[in-house]
């Protein structure tokens, strides 16, 4: 059904409103509908846009978590390799100080890191620094560094007394032969 505007001419808006009010089943013009006055399908695809935005946000969060996890694993790997290299160097510090850093470098290389600094002092303490390179997708190549120190425990007591100073005197335990056979006196509670 076509409507006419105030000047008597047929208008598109009037035609479109009549079709919208009639609904998809062709109901009468006088019936009201929730979508009357709106173009049918005007908000179609809105949920798709929101879901695409939400999925983008979720993917970005996952990427950040994966990058942080990669860096954390590299840091732990570097710390472990530094600790092991320092222990290897300290083990050889007194026996063969020149070979101590070579042993530390070999152990570091076996763990997938590079030994960047190694020093052994006269007290048998080894200081090492290792680096591990990793490539992050958005940040490019990065370097993670770890340092470690290992050596003997320094004691201020003479060597003969060192064991007792560290452990302390043994606790006294009564042996079965030293127990007294006398009965324990009862305590009067005043009643």
Q: How many residues does the chain have?
A: 191
Counting other chains too, the contacts that 135-142 makes at CB distance below 8 Å and 24 or more residues apart are 136/67, 136/70, 136/71, 137/63, 137/67, 138/63, 138/67, 139/67, 142/71
- pLDDT tops 50 at residue 166: no
What residues are paired with 129 via a beta bridge?
A: 117, 147
pTM: 0.54
Rounded Cα–Cα distance for residues 16 and 52 (Å)? 32
pLDDT digits (tens, 9 = 90+) for 91-131: 888 888 788 989 999 999 998 899 999 998 888 889 999 99
Mean residue pLDDT of the chain comes to: 75
pLDDT digits (tens, 9 = 90+) for 146-159: 999 998 876 444 55
pLDDT digits (tens, 9 = 90+) for 59-94: 999 999 999 999 999 999 999 999 999 999 998 888
Query: Do the beta carbons of residue 150 and residue 86 sit within 8 Å?
Result: yes
- pLDDT tops 60 at residue 23: no
Rounded Cα–Cα distance for residues 66 and 12 (Å)? 56
Query: Do the beta carbons of residue 156 and residue 165 sit within 8 Å?
Result: no
- pLDDT tops 80 at residue 160: no
Domain limits, the chain: 1-37, 69-152
Query: Can you spell out the DSSP letters for 87-146?
Result: HHHHHTTTT-HHHHHHHHHHHHHHTT-EEEEEEE-TTS-EEEEEEEEEEETTTEEEEEEE
Report the pLDDT averaged over residues 2-31.
58
The share of the chain scoring above pLDDT 90, in percent, equals 35
């Amino acid at each position: 059904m076509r409507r006419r505007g105030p000047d008597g001419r047929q208008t598109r808006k009037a035609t479109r409103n009549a079709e919208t009010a009639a609904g998809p089943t062709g109901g009468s013009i006088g019936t009201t509908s929730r979508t009357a006055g709106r173009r049918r399908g005007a908000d179609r695809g809105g949920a798709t846009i929101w879901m695409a935005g939400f999925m983008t946000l979720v993917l970005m969060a996952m990427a950040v978590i994966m990058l942080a996890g990669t860096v954390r694993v590299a840091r732990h790997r570097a710390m472990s390799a530094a600790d092991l290299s320092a222990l290897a160097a300290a083990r050889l510090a007194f026996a063969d100080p020149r070979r101590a850093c070579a042993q530390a470098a070999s152990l570091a290389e076996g763990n997938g890191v590079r030994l960047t600094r190694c020093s052994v002092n006269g007290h048998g303490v080894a200081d090492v620094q290792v680096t591990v390179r990793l490539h992050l997708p958005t940040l490019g190549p990065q370097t993670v560094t770890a340092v470690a120190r290992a050596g003997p425990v320094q004691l201020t007591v003479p060597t003969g007394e060192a064991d007792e100073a560290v452990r302390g005197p043994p606790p006294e335990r009564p042996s079965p032969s030293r127990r007294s056979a006398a009965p324990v006196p009862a305590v009067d509670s005043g009643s």
